[in-house]
Structure 1
Amino acid sequence: MKLLFKLTAVILLPFSASTAFGQVNELIKQLHDPSTKKVLVASHRGDWRNAPENSLEAYKLAIDMGVDMIEADLGKTSDGVVVIMHDATIDRTTDGKGKLSDYTLAELKKFHLRNGLGRLTKHTIPTLEEVMLLAKGKVLVNLDKSIKYYNEAYDILKKTGTLQQALFKTDITYPELKERYPAILNSITFMAIVNLDKPGAKKIIEDYQKAIKPVAFELNFGTDTSALLTNNSFINAHGSKIWYNSLWASLNAGHEDDLAFDDGNTKDSWDWLISHGATVLQTDRPLMMLNYLRKRSLHK
């Protein structure tokens, strides 16, 4: 019996690993395919309604839910370790006080994360390396607030074998980006963030397209009057996807998650975003969005 168990384990482990990597390879392929109408779902800060935001547990729950991508906000400790924390301080999300950057990793690990109700949990602040090892072979990772830490993040992704799974992003222009990170720019998967309410938005997009062809453009807008919302097919034509945030009104002119969740109005929220070119949506309602997209045959 023991021998049979060991033989079964030997057979199943490689199969499970290959299945997992096959899954993430499909996601990578979809991310790089601007022609597909299928929509990728990015879970904002993981499943933060059921576990502390940006915790390993929140990411695990989101992965188990079936999302395609998790978001990780990057920060750095006083001893140079890249960790996951949205705020510059740890006051809101932990039982500690002060700036994240004033603590070593060992000191930060002594604090505990709060859940959405502000109650303390057993969970602690994860490192980027821990998150990437959790995500490895399973899901894509959106590296938010990462522009200061591209080099450190790149090294971690290379170390963990997860470089193709991670999405680097920034709202600076291409010339600025090239000046800051010339050595790794052609080795990373990159998305440019563009505010459509600001003058020169189209030029920012075109400059990036001419130089490096980002895998996607994250388009944010407080009003929905920009011509780029109705005339953006050139983005797909040049090989990039369109990403919208359905999180809250200031990012999408009110075509937000809560319109779908509170009022059951997907027509003016998620339908609207998809009809205006979205093939990646970042949401705070991942399970509801997954079910909605599956009903529309826009998700596996």
Structure 2
Amino acid sequence: MRLAMLFVSLFFALVAGAASLARIPAPMHAALIHERLTHANLFRDHVMVVAHRAGWKEKGKPMRAENSFAAIDHASAIGVEMVELDVRRSRDGALVIMHDETLDRTTTCKGKVAERDLADLRTCRLIVEGAREVTDEHVFTLEEAMLHARGRIMINVDNKLEPEALVEVADLARRLDMTGGVLLKMAIWNPERLQLARDIRRAIGPEIAFMPILADDAVTETAFVDRTQSALSAPAAELIHWHRDASLPVTPDGGPLLSPLSRAAAIRNNTHLWINTYAITDRPEGMVAGGRGDYLALSTGRPQDVWGFFVERGVTIIQTDEPEAVIAWLDAQGLRRPYELTN
């Protein structure tokens, strides 16, 4: 009898363990995120969240060093789908993670990234901006960042180099067996630039996600948006909705890139619409989102006028400096679906 009870207990323990793994698929989580990224029309009831510079702020205050392992870890822990990491090159050719052209703002060093070898860059400690708190982390490579994030969260690569460098990033992802772990992108504003993007897309290979960045100061025709999404087999289109009229606190609508026609083009091409609500350094808050930035959502208690405004216009990916707040708001609206393993 005792032996039978032992087997029963063991059975239920195994079932409970399997159920737990199904709810928290840590090593496979990035693959599930990639599935939602590349099948937009199946997941339009779920809004994905991207942590700008890996997620360094909370309520407007820097809490972690930007583009840091600590930021990646926090983003993964709170359920963010992607971390945005900025890529530059050292003097000796290494792809390194750094937003600015210089080291002054975000590290203990000074000078240009491109004028230092990797070994020298590794002596530069990352700091938490504002308090200038020095962390235990140093400047690291894109490869190290990819290995740190692998399986847990996707990386949205913001390429600060020539467009052709994206092929090198793709080759790295392939070597690390992470073709489903990265999203590459490129700004496109006319047919010539689209042709360059098509050439780079072919060199990258179809197994790696690649998307256009489209800004409404140059791209105003929905037909061009449609053609770009189709030509690149893009799983998403990152939209820049400029706030150019200083007499208006926010734009009255989403402009041509967030029109009903643009939304229809996204559905036709199985593509996500992506908006950025983070602030740009030395620019008015919300500049890239028609004035509807994270600060407006949090400081005035108007998330519906920011994140909700864009969701109503078909946006299913939000890149933000406030990922925790955005996820909490989306959860409250029923706009997040749990990730689960399926047979």
TM-score relative to the length of structure 2: 0.78
Deviation, 1:200, is 4.6
1:121 counterpart = 2:140: no
- Runs of at least 5 residues in structure 2 that lack an aligned partner in the other structure: 1-16, 57-61, 244-250, 280-285, 339-343
Classify 1:133/1:201 alpha carbon distance in 2 versus 1 (closer, same or farther; 3 Å): farther
Distance 2:211 2:329 in 1: 25
Distance 1:16 1:160 in 2: 25
1:111 counterpart = 2:142: no
Match of 1:227 in 2: 256
Match of 1:209 among 208, 229, 235: 229
Match of 1:236 among 263, 267, 270: 267
Distance 2:196 2:220 in 1: 15
Aligned residues: 287
Classify 1:236/1:274 alpha carbon distance in 2 versus 1 (closer, same or farther; 3 Å): same
1:63 counterpart = 2:79: no
Q: 8 Å contact 1:164–1:189 — kept in the other structure?
A: yes
Deviation, 1:203, is 4.4
Deviation, 1:114, is 1.4
Match of 2:175 among 146, 159, 169: 159
Distance 1:111 1:22 in 2: 33
Q: 8 Å contact 2:225–2:265 — kept in the other structure?
A: no
Q: Give CA-to-partner distance per residue, 1:186-244, whole Å, 9 cap, x none.
A: 34211100002325553442332342221100111124452332222221221111000
Distance 1:101 1:61 in 2: 29
Matches of residues 79-98 of structure 1 in structure 2 within 5 Å? Answer: 79-98=92-111
Deviation, 1:23, is 2.0
Match of 2:149 among 135, 152, 155: 135
Classify 1:179/1:254 alpha carbon distance in 2 versus 1 (closer, same or farther; 3 Å): same
1:38 counterpart = 2:46: yes
Deviates more, 1:169-178 or 1:249-258: 169-178
Q: Give CA-to-partner distance per residue, 1:243-293, whole Å, 9 cap, x none.
A: 001113111111111111111101210100110111000011111111111
Letter in 2 for 1:229: L
Match of 2:314 in 1: 277
Distance 1:168 1:116 in 2: 27
Distance 2:108 2:326 in 1: 32
Q: 8 Å contact 1:75–1:100 — kept in the other structure?
A: yes
Deviation, 1:167, is 0.4
Deviation, 1:16, is 7.2
- Three-state SS of the structure 2 residue aligned to 1:26 is helix
- Three-state SS of the structure 1 residue aligned to 2:96 is strand
Distance 2:201 2:237 in 1: 19
Classify 1:112/1:244 alpha carbon distance in 2 versus 1 (closer, same or farther; 3 Å): same
Letter in 2 for 1:77: S
Distance 2:157 2:208 in 1: 12
Distance 2:145 2:238 in 1: 23
Classify 1:259/1:97 alpha carbon distance in 2 versus 1 (closer, same or farther; 3 Å): same
- Three-state SS of the structure 1 residue aligned to 2:183 is strand
1:27 counterpart = 2:33: yes
Q: 8 Å contact 2:212–2:229 — kept in the other structure?
A: no
- Three-state SS of the structure 2 residue aligned to 1:261 is helix
Distance 1:209 1:294 in 2: 29
Distance 1:208 1:20 in 2: 34
Distance 2:164 2:21 in 1: 36
Of the two, which has the highest radius of gyration?
Answer: 2
Match of 2:13 in 1: none
Deviation, 1:152, is 2.0
- Three-state SS of the structure 1 residue aligned to 2:151 is coil
Q: Give CA-to-partner distance per residue, 1:60-107, whole Å, 9 cap, x none.
A: 121112211101100011111111000111111112121101111110
Root-mean-square deviation (CA), in Å? 2.1
Deviates more, 1:211-220 or 1:197-206: 197-206
Match of 1:186 in 2: 206
- Three-state SS of the structure 2 residue aligned to 1:45 is helix
Match of 2:185 among 146, 162, 169: 169
Structure 1 vs Structure 2: percent identity of aligned residues? 29
Q: 8 Å contact 1:174–1:204 — kept in the other structure?
A: no
User: Where in structure 1 do 4 or more consecutive aligned residues deviate above 4 Å?
Assistant: 15-18
